[in-house]
Structure formats: C-alpha cells, structure tokens
Structure 1
Amino acid sequence: MSLRKADPLLAIARIVLIVMQALAALGAIACAIAVPAIFIFRSQVETELRSEGIPLDAFTALASLLALAAIAAALVFLVARLLWRMVGTVRDGDPFVPENATRLSRMAWITLAIQLIGIPMAAVAVWLNEITQDAHAENVGDGISVSAILLVLILFILARVFRKGTEMREELEGTV
C-alpha cells in the first residue's frame, strides 16, 4: 500500500501547510501594501492618530512594525513551502534525499531569522505601547522564544541526520 493512501497525517500536514502558506502570503502582501499606503495617506493617518490622542511618533512605530511583519510573514511562507516539499518526498516514499537535508538547513536559518526579527518587532511594539500610553496592552514579550531556539537547533540537527542518512544509503547501494 502506498503512503499516499495509508498515512492520513501526511494528508493533514499538506492541508495545514497549504493554509499556512496562504495565510502567510496574505499577511506578507497585506503588510507590504500597508507600508507604502500609510505613507501615501500619511495626512489622513496622522489626523486619525491626533483624533485618538496618540502622538505622531506612533506613525513611525506603526510603519516599522508593518515592515518587520511583512518580512516575518514572508519568511514563514518560505518555511512552510520547504516543509511542503519535504512532506511530498515522504509521501512519495523517499525522504532521505540530499534536497531534504538542504531544506532542513534552510528552514533552520530562516527560523533563526524569524526569531531575530522578533526582537526588533517586540521592541517596536513596546515603544508603540509606551507612546500610545496603552495601559490595556498585553505584555508583548522580549521577542526571544526558547521554543523557537530549540526548533532551530532541532532543524540543524535533523539536517545533519538526513545528510548522514543519505550518505549511508548511497554507500549501502554502492556495496550491493
């Protein structure tokens, strides 16, 4: 029986990854459009900020946060796309291919970049909360996630495992 029919987890993973890619792409596009839009409509945005009693410094914070969010969402899309391709090799019955080791390494570097982008995003969010004096704002954190750092390490290690597994399979095939 092929994996295509036998493994519902792979089918679920593919659906989740399609949705994740769509949402990440939509978020990246929306934020990327919003950044120039708030500059194009700057006077209207500043008027709205003033009417809410928010200092105009919030404009810069908002533009910065949107730009960083666009980058982060685009990177999430890339990770989901790489994982989508890996799931395809698993579904096809041959996950130990050199491309998957490369994909895992790329996913690790991209995940690290997302984590690093989270640091200035958190700083800008704190700044935005301070200048808007938002007493009801939730704690935005410090941008550092232990679980994300752990994920980066796992991805790098799995990349090495896949690379070694591929080498061992090639050696075995060469001796047969």
Structure 2
Amino acid sequence: MTSTMHALTRDPLLAIAKGMLWFLMGAMALAIGACLVAIPAMLAFQNEISAEMAKEMPLLLPQFYWVVSGILVLAAVLCGVLFRIFQLLKRIVGTVGDGDPFVPENARRLTQMAWLSLVVQLLGLPLSALGALINKIGKGETHLDSIGGISGNGLLLMLILFILARVFRKGAEMRAELEGTV
C-alpha cells in the first residue's frame, strides 16, 4: 500500500477532503462547459428567447443578450479560477497525506491561492455591475443585482492564505536548517 493510500485510510478527514475537492473540481469544469455552451446557444436562439421573455419583460433591450453573454464569460473565468484554487488545495492535501506538508512548494501554492482569491474578488465587481444592468433592463424583476461584488469573507480568506503561505515557507526553512545541522 502506498504511503498516500495508507495516510488516507488512517485519516478519513483527508479522504473526505480529497473527495470533496475532486467533486468541486468536476463541478467547476461542468460549469465552465455549461457557460461556454450557453453563450452561442443563447445567441443562436435569440428570437425564441425574445418571444418567451416578451411575456415576462416586454421592454427587453437588444443589449440584454450581450450583457448576459458577458456574465456567462465572467462566470466561466470565475469557475476556472476556482478550479485552479481547488486543484492547488488538493495538492496540498496530498502532501499532508504523505506526511510532508512543510515543503516550499506548498508555500508557493498557498501564495498562488491567495492571489487567485483576490482575482475572484475582482471578478465579482464586473459581475455585480452586469447583474445590476440586467436588473435595470428587467425593471427590477430579475434580482440579479445581488451577484458578485467584494466579499469581506473573501478578503479575509486572501489574508489568511498569505499568512499561511509565510508560515509554510518559514516551516520549510526551519526544517531545512534542522536537517542541515543533523
């Protein structure tokens, strides 16, 4: 039995974390695919969609389709960023399972995750603006004005990730120094 497999059977939390991360990565990949399929489909079926939406929103503007396409593009990018964050976290979990988490690579992974969490926050700004525009077009009936924006929790996560990256970097340095003195 490999050391990773042995660690996973010893620590069910690691197995659960790995399973959840695989699931989340799959969900993000599926969401990216759905967004990328929805954009051309929505534009291809513009007349049919307009006929249906005219019942609900008679003042539907032609810009509606471009705004929704922008939301879908940003959502696909956002899901791609989240996929990468989950992938990096899965690799960190793997090193924990191997019993060697304080490696320089994990510090780099945590730093990358922190920057990516900032990207998530920044992507929320245009998403929020586009959602508000859709809400305005729909005369307040869409309720998309609450998507996106800056999250205090997201900023806190970014700060925690940067701090953890430094902790892991220092832990790797201390371990290297200790191994050099033995």
1:61-140 correspondence runs (5 A): 61-135=67-141, 137=143, 140=146
Q: Which residue pairs with 1:14 in the alignment?
A: 18
Identity fraction in percent = 45
Contact 1:46 1:59 in 2 (8 A): no
| In 1, Cα distance between equivalents of 2:107 and 2:28 | 24
Runs of 4+ aligned structure 1 residues displaced above 6 Å come to none
| In 2, Cα distance between equivalents of 1:77 and 1:60 | 25
| In 1, Cα distance between equivalents of 2:23 and 2:163 | 27
Distance 1:86 1:58, change over 3 A: same
Aligned-pair RMSD on alpha carbons? 2.0
| In 2, Cα distance between equivalents of 1:49 and 1:57 | 14
Contact 1:82 1:107 in 2 (8 A): yes
Contact 2:35 2:75 in 1 (8 A): yes
Contact 2:14 2:93 in 1 (8 A): yes
Q: Which residue pairs with 1:175 in the alignment?
A: 181
Contact 2:135 2:142 in 1 (8 A): no
Distance 1:50 1:135, change over 3 A: closer
Q: Deviations over 1:113-136 (max 9, x none)?
A: 011001110110111011111346
| In 2, Cα distance between equivalents of 1:140 and 1:111 | 19
| In 1, Cα distance between equivalents of 2:31 and 2:132 | 21
Instruction: Tell me the CA shift for residue 12 of structure 1.
Output: 1.2
Instruction: Tell me the CA shift for residue 138 of structure 1.
Output: 6.6
Unaligned runs of 5+ residues in structure 1 are: none
Normalising by structure 1, we get a TM-score of 0.91
Q: Which residue pairs with 2:37 in the alignment?
A: 33
Contact 2:132 2:144 in 1 (8 A): no
Instruction: Tell me the CA shift for residue 175 of structure 1.
Output: 0.4
Normalising by structure 2, we get a TM-score of 0.88
Instruction: Tell me the CA shift for residue 61 of structure 1.
Output: 1.3
Instruction: Tell me the CA shift for residue 4 of structure 1.
Output: 2.3
Distance 1:36 1:136, change over 3 A: closer
**Larger mean Cα displacement after TM superposition, 140-149 or 90-99:** 140-149
Distance 1:149 1:55, change over 3 A: same
